[in-house]
Amino acid sequence: MFDGLKHKFVFNKIKYKQMRNLILAFLLFSTTFSFGQKLHFGLSVGTGKSYLFESIDKTVNVNYGVPISLMTEIKFTPKDKNWGIKLRVHNVESTLKGENWVNKTPLNGYINSITTSLILENEIAKKHFSYGFNFGLGLTKETIQQQQFSLKPKNVQNYTSLSVGGHFTHKISKDFDFQILPTFLWQDPFKSIGYLTGSRNANFAGEDFTMTINFGLRYRLTK
């Protein structure tokens, strides 16, 4: 058992070390080559639906509340190009009630996921607006926390996530844009495939789909 825990700890440590290195490389790259290029910072808030399959499954007693979605992004786009690279931190949190159908324990608290992703985005620019799509890979830290009066410790797990989304941007001024950002997040796709192929059992939360739509502002950092 201890060997398994040790291997899991080492694996998670390696994953987050790799993501940290990717973030540092992105920031270094965007700072170094931002002259004459486009560099944007975005902040948005929204809502959606968490853990879609588990929410619609009538055989389990789990109720996910309406989530709050917070998103922070920084995007680098080469000069005269439609494709850019984006670093995104996406936080989704909702209340949680019911029963953990895996170990039959009661649930009364909240569930939070923070996903850090590197995303490729295509943007078609018009005179006063732009639109496009994006896709990327990230790491998610998922936390299940019971109410404060509960003596049960919080449950934390880390996994890979895939994201696919779109965007519509309307220019407000020279430097500010209004954005609409629909996002579809596939959480822990590798375990999901294992469940679909019958090679592993399903788990509570974790592998599932989350859909959000955010509204916010984007600011051009480079002039």
**How distant is the alpha carbon of residue 210 from its chain centre?**
9
Residue percentage of the chain with pLDDT more than 90:
44
User: 173 or 148: which carries more pLDDT confidence?
Assistant: 173
What separation in angstroms does the CA of 47 have from each of 73, 91, 181, 196? Answer: 17, 11, 11, 28
* Confidence label for 162 from pLDDT (cuts 50, 70 and 90): very high
- Residue 217 pairs with which residues in a beta bridge? 43, 178
**Beta carbons of 142 and 116 less than 8 angstroms apart:** no
* Confidence label for 109 from pLDDT (cuts 50, 70 and 90): confident
Residue with tokens 């790491």: 139
Q: Which domains does the chain have, with CATH numbers?
A: 2-220 (2.40.160.20)
Can you read off the two tokens belonging to residue 77? 């786009």
Q: Where are the beta strands (DSSP E) in 147-195?
A: 155-171, 176-187
Pair type for strands 129-146 and 208-220 = unpaired
Closest CA to 98 of 67, 57, 142, 68: 57
- Residue 44 pairs with which residues in a beta bridge? 71, 216
Can you read off the two tokens belonging to residue 158? 């880390």
Can you read off the two tokens belonging to residue 60? 């389990």
For residue range 48-107, what is the model confidence (pLDDT) as tens digits?
A: 999 887 777 777 788 889 999 999 999 989 888 899 999 999 999 999 888 776 677 778
* Confidence label for 2 from pLDDT (cuts 50, 70 and 90): very low
Overall average pLDDT of the 17-26 stretch: 57
